Amino acid sequence: MCTDFRRDLIDASRRDGTGQTPGCMTSDLTDLLRQVRACTICAEHLPAGPRPVVQVGPGAPIVIIGQAPGRRVHESGVPWDDPSGDRLRDWLGLDLETFYDPAAVAIVPMGFCYPGTGAGGDLPPRPECAPEWHQALFAHLPGDRLEIITGAYAQKRYVADTAATVTETVAAWRERLPGQVVLPHPSPRNNRWLTRNPWFAEETLPAVRERVRRALDER
């Protein structure tokens, strides 16, 4: 991420606890985001302590529903502020300014806080966040929003065919447009998956970028 841009985002997050511009939000949404960021519902399970990281602006035409912040995002307070985020922005064809504009892109992960690490990497997202907060946040987004579903945990909650694997669901991308796109997690850990499935870069991503562009143009 561009150093100056990243520094501005981190400074904004520290100033108002949201990383967003209060003037662009309704008072209801501002209050809701303050409640989200004050949440301690699963604090006893978080080895690094609670630091909810979300981004929502009223009427954002795109929402990214991913897993949970990693350690670097926990430290900066900036969503997708890591190599996975760099890859996701490339997949979606979004520059930094657009990606971090809450009026354009909402970022609502399955777990809002860094869950800690286990033997195989980061632990799963905490299960409390989605039922506690998602619907209240989504109420501030348009009904015809584009949902970017990233990774197995978001797929399990928000994709109808929960019996399918991530690969099967991603491969069925034509069936889910125009309202939903399912992506594998953009972590470098998935490089092998990307190598084994070249159709993803050749066929899926061009269609995804076009759908994202159209969602933004139709605002």
Q: What is the pLDDT of residue 160?
A: 82
We report the CATH number of the domain holding residue 11 as 3.40.470.10
The CA-CA-CA angle for residues 209, 213, 216, to 5°, reads 140
pLDDT at 161: 75
Structurally, the chain folds into a number of domains equal to 1
Q: Range with the lowest mean pLDDT among 11-15, 65-69, 154-158?
A: 11-15
- pLDDT range class, residue 17, cuts 50, 70, 90: very low
The percent of residues above 70 in pLDDT, for the chain, comes to: 87
Average pLDDT taken over every residue of the chain: 90
| pTM to 2 decimal places | 0.90
pLDDT of residue 18: 47
CA distance 198 to 208: 15
Question: Do residues 73 and 81 make contact, with C-beta atoms less than 8 angstroms apart?
Answer: yes
CA-nearest of 1, 160, 182 to 95 is 1
- Identify the domain containing residue 177 by its residue range: 3-17+24-217
- Residue 203, C-beta contacts closer than 8 angstroms, at least 6 positions apart: none
The pLDDT of residue 178 is above 80? yes
